[in-house]
Amino acid sequence: MTATVTEFEQQWAEWRSERDRWARQPLGWLSLTGLHWLGEAGETFDGLPGTWRADGENVHVTVESEPRPGEGELWFDGRVLSGTTTLTPGEGQPGLEVTTGQRVIEVIRRSGQFALRIHDPVAPTLASFTEIPAYQADPRWVVTGRFEPYEVARVVTTGAVVDGLVHHHPATGTVTFRLGEAEHRFIVFGSHTTGLHVLFTDATSGVTTYGGARRLDLPRPGADGAVVLDFNRAANLPCAFTDYATCPVAPAENRLPLAVEAGERDPRKEFTA
């Protein structure tokens, strides 16, 4: 006799499939093969065309008229680069994309520092991907909390998985909820326009789940502030999959003392169940 799949289980399975599709993007986070921090002196990198350097505000790439053996062209904004080109990525924003063959060189700025992040659609991490490991969904990890907006939105600064970097998060309020025998409060990032989310850790972090933080998206709160936290949908940040990301860590206020055995597990660990 076939077991009946509940609506809760079906919705969670659809979320899991969506997350796996996200991971399989040809030039997504699992396609990363390198992260090169730039200094003021011009540098070359194996397999990448051009000589790269950074000053206080820009990245400069110089392409010689005669490329080095085995290297292709660099393309940016619909044209082939030659001579010296100045690129100005935004702080903390998605990088500017320079392409060479099938690869994308993402030029990023983080905490005033500049780097090249390399995406390759034939990266080994992408080729070997099967699925994101996760705990089995359990309705007991779905709780209703109460969102309380700040009178004035504020910015919360956290560290990053890369030493020396910081992240500045627009924070819009807090959410109070009960798990186990205690009441807890998270700082909530984002806005009603862009969507609300929390970054958190718990007693599984660094054990069965990724240590830096997991992300939990929140639906829009009701008129009375009621909002559902479904920890079955706690998702890994990109840094759980690659060493070439610069993700934030959870703020101290969002570190739970109990084990949340729900949501995505650490994809770089092996589990028997």
Where among 104, 127, 150 does a domain terminate? Answer: 127
| Residue corresponding to tokens 């996760």 | 134
The residue ranking higher by pLDDT, 68 or 84, is 84
CB–CB of 62/83 below 8 Å? yes
Where among 127, 162, 180 does a domain terminate? Answer: 127
At 67 the pLDDT is 61
Instruction: Out of 37-51, 54-68, 234-248, pick the least confident.
Output: 54-68
| Residue corresponding to tokens 């089995």 | 136
Whether 176 maps to a domain, the answer reads yes
> Is the domain of 250 the same as that of 136?
yes
Q: What is the mean pLDDT of the chain?
A: 93
> Is the domain of 80 the same as that of 172?
no
Whether 138 maps to a domain, the answer reads yes
At 56 the pLDDT is 87
> Is the domain of 142 the same as that of 60?
no
pLDDT in tens, 198-232: 999 999 999 999 999 999 999 999 999 999 999 99
Tokens of 98: 């320079």
CB–CB of 156/251 below 8 Å? yes
> Is the domain of 148 the same as that of 60?
no
Query: What are the C-alpha distances in Å from 24 to residues 8, 11, 95, 125?
Result: 25, 20, 20, 10
> Is the domain of 145 the same as that of 247?
yes
Whether 187 maps to a domain, the answer reads yes
| Residue corresponding to tokens 């709160």 | 221
Share of the chain above pLDDT 90, in %: 88
At 143 the pLDDT is 97
Does residue 12 surpass a pLDDT of 90? yes
Does residue 123 surpass a pLDDT of 60? yes
CA end-to-end span of the chain: 24
Whether 9 maps to a domain, the answer reads no
> Is the domain of 151 the same as that of 179?
yes
Whether 56 maps to a domain, the answer reads yes
Whether 1 maps to a domain, the answer reads no
> Is the domain of 122 the same as that of 144?
no
Name residue 220's amino acid: R
> Is the domain of 121 the same as that of 140?
no
> Is the domain of 166 the same as that of 59?
no
Does residue 3 surpass a pLDDT of 70? no
Determine the structural domain holding residue 195 and report its residue range. Answer: 132-254
> Is the domain of 122 the same as that of 207?
no
Whether 212 maps to a domain, the answer reads yes
Which residues on adjacent β-strands are paired with residue 80? 75
d(CA 70, CA 46): 10
Whether 88 maps to a domain, the answer reads yes
* Confidence bin at 87 (pLDDT 50/70/90): very high
Count up the domains in the chain and report the number.
2
Tokens of 90: 């935004």
- The string of DSSP codes covering the chain is -PPPPPHHHHHHHHHHHHHHHHHT-TTSGGGEEEEEE--SS-B--TT--SEEEE-SS-EEEEE-SSPPTT----EETTEE--EEEEE-PPBTSPPEEEEETTEEEEEEEETTEEEEEEE-TT-HHHHT-----BPPP-GGGEEEEEEEEEEEEEEEEEEBSSTT-EEEEEEEEEEEEEETTEEEEEEEEEETTTEEEEEEB-TTBTTTB-SS-EEEEEPPP-TT-EEEEEGGG-EE-GGGT-TT--PBPPPGGGB-SS----SB--TTS----
| Residue corresponding to tokens 């969904």 | 137
> Is the domain of 116 the same as that of 166?
no
Tokens of 56: 């206080």
> Is the domain of 193 the same as that of 248?
yes
Name residue 21's amino acid: R
Where among 127, 156, 183 does a domain terminate? Answer: 127
Query: What are the C-alpha distances in Å from 118 to residues 96, 131, 207, 212, 213?
Result: 12, 23, 29, 22, 24
pLDDT in tens, 156-212: 999 999 999 999 999 999 999 999 889 999 999 998 888 999 999 999 999 999 999
Arithmetic mean of pLDDT, 48-67: 90
d(CA 183, CA 146): 11
